[in-house]
């Protein structure tokens, strides 16, 4: 299979028709080898127009979804970005390809290791992408503050800990999907110490297990 040609068709047939116009995203999606961010047995399906199950309750977001989430995030070269629940690292690699400095946070070592070949083959600048282990709802305070936080999946609400790690004027993008409700991609901003978010587009996501409500875990 000619994966380079398949990625071009993915961009032309799935991403562009869904109102993704940022040329940096389109270029990154053509050059970052999405097929290397999944198990070898799934590589021929990696470019399909669907979420791809990776096991352990996790998915690789469909190309259109991750592209639109990155577009509403409006990453700018030189910004510091945290990708939460980064999985195999595909979304983090796209962002790093666009000129930002990324910390990819993932608590599942199997998933993180799965994307190693993809990150190595993505042509990223040295130091553009750093992987860290940690529980997603708590973020990665050691690297804060962040200009942008991307949560790569569906959450019932945004944890306060992530908001606290945003810089003044920083943005946060996630799929907010309370139990039993339709999900929506949101873009939120921290201004004057307060955080407010608006819906950008409807999308039904796979809930991230790490964000499931449990006793003693407070969401806002």
Joined tokens for residue 208: 């991230």
| DSSP category for residue 79 | -
What is the domain partition of the chain in residue ranges? 3-211
| The model's pTM | 0.94
Joined tokens for residue 116: 């190693």
CA 53 distance to own-chain centroid: 15
Architecture field, domain 3-211: 3-Layer(aba) Sandwich (3.40)
Instruction: Report the SS3 class of residue 94.
Output: helix
Query: Cβ distance 188 to 171 under 8 Å?
Result: yes
pLDDT tens digits along 66-88? 999 999 999 999 999 999 999 99
pLDDT tens digits along 106-132? 999 999 999 999 999 999 999 999 999
């Amino acid at each position: 299979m000619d994966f380079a040609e398949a990625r071009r068709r993915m961009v032309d047939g799935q991403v562009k028709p869904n109102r993704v116009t940022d040329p940096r995203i389109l270029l990154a999606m053509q050059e970052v080898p999405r097929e290397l961010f999944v198990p070898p047995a799934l590589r021929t399906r990696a470019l399909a127009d669907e979420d791809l199950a990776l096991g352990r309750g996790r998915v690789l977001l469909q190309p259109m979804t991750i592209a639109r989430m990155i577009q509403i995030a409006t990453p700018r070269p030189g910004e510091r970005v945290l990708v939460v629940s980064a999985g195999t690292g595909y979304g983090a690699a796209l962002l790093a390809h666009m000129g930002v400095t990324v910390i990819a946070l993932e608590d599942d070592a199997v998933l993180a290791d799965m994307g190693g070949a993809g990150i190595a083959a993505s042509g990223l600048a040295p130091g553009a992408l750093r992987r860290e282990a940690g529980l997603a709802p708590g973020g990665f305070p050691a690297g804060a503050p962040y200009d942008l936080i991307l949560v790569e999946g569906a959450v019932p609400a945004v944890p306060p800990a992530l908001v606290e790690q945003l810089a003044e004027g920083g943005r946060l993008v996630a799929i907010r999907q309370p139990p039993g409700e339709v999900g929506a991609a949101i873009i939120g901003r921290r201004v004057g110490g307060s955080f407010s978010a608006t819906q950008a587009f409807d999308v039904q996501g796979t809930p991230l297990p790490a964000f499931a409500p449990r006793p003693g875990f407070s969401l806002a």
